[in-house]
């Protein structure tokens, strides 16, 4: 494809999942931003169920569906994982929202490989990067990025997919799944010792399917760029991805109280521009970016604005 084109995917049902602080207002501010920027938003379809089963355990998917659909209106159920103190809010809208969130990524790769676009941003919730094979945790139900990666492998003849997770928390879901499924490279930069505690250390990097790059409380774009230039981009050059998926969390922003990393909104443009450069080098510019965290509404909105402008560039 000659010119860069960016498609945005979302769905009103992604607002129907109720949880805190991963709340519907996060998506509402982004939908307002797209309108302000004059960007159209395509409806995210339900994910093909076989693409969800291609990643998650079928019994787990059914259990989440039942838990959600058995809720009365205005009632909350609690998904309790087998990990202590880890709970995820579920309500009647949660399953539909999660299926749309995963479906956005699947549709994005379908459109990219049909050469209708070469970049995509999925403005969806619930987020996905903490979800493991049969485990909801950290506000995440289905691993949207990994479902997208496997969908591309299954339907579009893609072999090597890199998932680059710049959310301030460790992408434990992709790390676990990369050890089970072939040819997906799980890269995560995150603040050391945040959620999930004890995960995302460099000890996992012995396996060439995983690259964890822990950052420190107080780090700014300078340290983040050093980490990307010295560790992540060289690894990406070696892997030669045919598709890049960004697990795009914006909670490393200085105004987001959830972390101590000090990124400015514009720093997301700097970082994204380098990811675009890597995609241009390796995979004809193909990038699917899917929303993960980011809890300060104003910081989220401005960071996504810069992310999108760089994806268009
Ligand atoms: Zn996060």
- pLDDT over 80 (residue 80): no
Sheet-wide strand order for 119-122:
42-43, 6-10, 119-122, 287-291, 243-248, 161-165, 184-191, 210-215
Burial of 173: CB neighbours in 10 Å, binned 0-12, 13-18, 19+: buried
CA of 2 to the centre of ligand 1 (A): 34
Check residue 138 and give its pLDDT. Answer: 94
CA of 22 to the centre of ligand 1 (A): 10
**Closest to 94 measured CA to CA, from 67, 121, 132:** 67
In the Cβ-directed half-sphere of 4, how many Cα atoms lie within 13 Å?
17
Q: CA–CA distance from 173 to each of 55, 93, 105, 133, 256 (Å)?
A: 11, 23, 16, 8, 23
Check residue 2 and give its pLDDT. Answer: 55
C-beta separation of 291 from 104 below 8 A: no
CA of 157 to the centre of ligand 1 (A): 31
DSSP 8-state secondary structure symbol assigned to residue 159 = -
Is residue 130 annotated as a catalytic residue, yes or no?
yes
Burial 41-61 (b: 16+ CB within 10 A, else e): bbebbbbbeebbebbbeeebb
Point out the catalytic residue in the list 130, 169, 253, 306.
130
DSSP 8-state secondary structure symbol assigned to residue 165 = E
Read off the pLDDT of residues 130-160 as tens digits, 9 standing for 90 and up. 999 999 999 999 999 999 999 999 999 999 9
Question: What is the CATH T-level fold of the domain 6-312, as seen in this structure?
Answer: 3.40.800
- pLDDT over 80 (residue 16): yes
* Sign, Cα dihedral of 84, 89, 94, 97: negative
CA of 293 to the centre of ligand 1 (A): 4
CA of 143 to the centre of ligand 1 (A): 14
Read off the pLDDT of residues 255-274 as tens digits, 9 standing for 90 and up. 999 999 999 999 999 999 99
The residue whose two tokens read 């519907």 is 24
The residues, ordered by sequence, that sit 6+ positions from 306 with a Cβ below 8 Å of its Cβ are 265, 266, 267, 268, 269, 272
């Amino acid at each position: 494809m000659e010119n860069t084109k960016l498609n945005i995917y979302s769905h009103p049902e992604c607002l129907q999942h109720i949880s805190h602080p991963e709340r519907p207002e996060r998506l509402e501010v982004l939908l307002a931003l797209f309108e302000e920027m004059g960007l159209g938003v395509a409806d995210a379809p339900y994910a093909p169920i076989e693409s969800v089963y291609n990643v998650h355990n079928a019994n787990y998917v059914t259990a989440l569906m039942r838990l959600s659909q058995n809720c009365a209106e205005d009632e909350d159920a609690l998904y309790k994982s087998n990990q202590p103190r880890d709970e995820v809010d579920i309500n009647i809208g949660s399953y539909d929202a999660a299926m749309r969130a995963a479906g956005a990524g699947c549709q994005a790769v379908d459109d990219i490989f049909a050469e209708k676009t070469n970049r995509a941003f999925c403005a969806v919730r619930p987020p996905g990067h903490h979800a493991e094979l049969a485990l909801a945790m950290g506000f995440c139900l289905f691993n949207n990025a990994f479902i997208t990666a496997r969908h591309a492998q299954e339907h579009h003849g893609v072999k090597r997919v890199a998932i680059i997770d710049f959310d301030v928390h460790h992408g434990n879901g992709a790390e676990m799944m990369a050890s089970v499924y072939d040819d997906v490279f799980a890269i995560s930069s995150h603040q050391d010792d945040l959620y999930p505690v004890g995960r995302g250390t460099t000890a996992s990097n012995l396996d060439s399917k995983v690259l964890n790059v822990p950052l420190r409380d107080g780090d700014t774009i300078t340290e983040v760029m050093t980490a990307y230039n010295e560790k992540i981009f060289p690894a990406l050059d070696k892997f030669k991805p045919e598709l890049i998926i960004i697990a795009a969390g914006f909670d490393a922003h200085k105004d987001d109280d959830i972390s101590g990393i000090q990124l400015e909104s514009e720093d997301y443009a700097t970082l994204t521009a380098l990811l675009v450069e890597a995609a241009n080098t390796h995979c004809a510019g193909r990038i699917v970016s899917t929303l993960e965290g980011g809890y300060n509404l104003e910081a989220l909105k401005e960071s996504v604005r810069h992310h999108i402008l760089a994806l268009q560039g």
